[in-house]
Structure 1
Amino acid sequence: MTAPFNLEEGQSSARPPRFNGQFYRWWKTRMHDYLMTDDSELWDIVLDGPFIPTSEVKNGAEEYNRIFACESEKEIWDCIRTAHEGIEQVKESKVDMLTSQYEGETIHDMYTKLSSITNELRSLGEPISTSKKVRKVLRILSKSWESKVDAITEAKDLKVLTMNALIKNLKTHEMNRSQDFSKKR
């Protein structure tokens, strides 16, 4: 695909490519790349249209009444945030409750729950670093995992160990334990 002679250089990456009615395929590729760089879900919206919820929003009047007296966008934001996240003490209680929920399941179940909890924590403004998640997973494993946890801790640099690598390692060990257990029966 050849680029238009006068548009090959000098385009800004901060602005979308301009379509002048010629070289559609060139423009389409550039527009796709521009939108994917900014937000990959935006390209899906361009192709499929926006997602429009089909269920009825409950308590819309309640939300409206909650913010009706607010006089600025900041007041509206704070009011809605407090209503749904609570004050700081409630938020901290939610964080504590969520972090206590990922104990005692299969590795797959534990990781699924951990992902859900850490995503919710991120939405509450409490993102968890990968290193901290790795250490948390190793800490919450039951006593029967102690030798595996020790082996991972000694063999791996926990600061750079990814969650995928850890979970893969733990699932492999879990499968081997299951096979060993079924052989003993």
Structure 2
Amino acid sequence: MASSGFSPAAPPVFNGEGFHIWQVKMRTYLQAFDLWEVVNTDAEPAPLRANPIVAQIRQHADERTKRHKAMSCIQNCVSDVIFTRIMACETPKQAWDKLKEEFQGTERTRQQQLLNLRRDFENLKMKEEETVKQYTDRIMAVVNSIRLLGEQFNEARIVEKVLSTLPERYEAKILSLEDLRDLATISLTELINALYAQEQRRASRMEEHQEGAFQAKAKATSSTTAYKDKKNWKNRPKPDAAREGDRLCRFCKRPGHPEARCWFRPDAVCQHCKKKGHVERVCKEKGRPGQNQQHKAEARVAEEGSDNEE
């Protein structure tokens, strides 16, 4: 009998999909209430002996009501659409076998499903972009489907499948495991953990490498930006004060100086030739020999005149 105080949650209602999973949950649920033997064997309780005692009467009554309890569990754990298919069944075993025949198929159908699942298992290979966990999840999905159909599938076969279909990047880890352990006795969990640890180390190294490459790229980008900024700074538009030096002087038609300091401004007076329009520095008569002699002669006449006067 089920222990007092224990009330397992009812399995999900079967709506026509996932019968293999619902079947396992339902069988466990019935076992928890000591009702599975009634469903599986459909045995009638033994008749009461003559002059039974009260305990024997109660036990016989409980055995008789088990069939109705099991029937109630099955009917309440299917949808209304599925219930219409088993409502004509009189015993829980008839209802159970009816569901198995319709949704699990006949033995021939089951064998065909097993053949397809075995083919899928043999064709499984790990993809380059997959992790070990993702690959083993795909394998276990096929293995669990095979087990739900009633076929035994040992763990050693799964380990062999994983080792034989891993990509080349795991070869070094497999060789190290062969040196440390007997791969024929290693568990699937231990193998997955070892391969997962290698993946974590490889991912860390790749992350460090990518971070270093990113920093180098950022540094190169920063240098290029600084160079462009410097170039743009040189080619930037000059302010008004700087652009004034590039303007052409209206007197000499040359850039590089303000008009107030131009040597050829109209109000300038040459100290050499006493003429306006230029300064002494650019006087054309300043370097002529005749002009120098004329100035000297005029100076000499002026001196002689002053001597005569004296």
Kindly report the root-mean-square deviation, in angstroms, between the aligned alpha carbons of the 2 structures: 3.9
User: Separation in 1 of the partners of 2:80 and 2:121?
Assistant: 25
Question: Equivalent pairs: percent with the same residue?
Answer: 16
What 5-or-longer segments of structure 1 have no aligned partner? 1-14, 17-30, 33-42
Matched letter for residue 179 of structure 1: S
Task: Identify the match of residue 167 of structure 2 among 142, 150, 155.
Answer: 142
Distance across 2 between alignment mates of 1:112 and 1:161: 18
1:5-84 equivalence runs, <5 A? 31=3, 46-53=6-13, 57=79, 60=82, 79-80=101-102, 81-82=104-105
**8 Å contact kept, 2:125–2:166:** no
Q: 1:107 to 1:85 in 2, by over 3 A?
A: farther
Distance 1:100 1:125 in 2: 21
Q: Distance in 1 between matches of 2:81 and 2:120?
A: 26
Name the amino acid aligned to 2:163.
L
Which structure would you say has the larger Rg?
2
Give the aligned length: 141
Q: Distance in 2 between matches of 1:103 and 1:97?
A: 13
Could you say if the C-alpha distance between residues 98 and 132 of structure 1 is closer, same or farther in structure 2, counting changes exceeding 3 Å? closer
C-alpha displacement of 1:139: 1.0
Counterpart residue identity of residue 92, structure 1: L
Which residue in the other structure is 1:88 paired with?
111
Shift of 1:137: 0.9
Contact 1:85 1:124 in 2 (8 A): no
Q: Displacement of 1:102 after TM fit?
A: 5.3
CA contact (8 A) 2:147 2:153 kept: yes
Instruction: Give TM-score, length-normalised by structure 1.
Output: 0.57
**How far apart are residue 177 of structure 1 and its match?**
1.0
**Residue 188 (structure 2) aligned to one of 151, 157, 163:** 163
1:48 and 1:166 map into 2 onto residues whose CA distance is 35
Q: How far off its partner does 1:173 sit?
A: 0.5
Is residue 103 from structure 1 mapped to residue 126 from structure 2 by the alignment? yes
Match of 2:207 in 1: 182
Q: Find the counterpart in structure 1 of residue 146 from structure 2.
A: 121
Q: Give secondary structure in 2 for the equivalent of 1:50.
A: coil
Counterpart secondary structure, 1:51: coil
Which structure 2 residue ranges, 5 or more long, are not aligned? 16-77, 211-310
Q: Secondary structure at the match of 1:103?
A: coil
- Quote the offset at 1:84 in angstroms: 9.3
1:37: which partner in 2? none
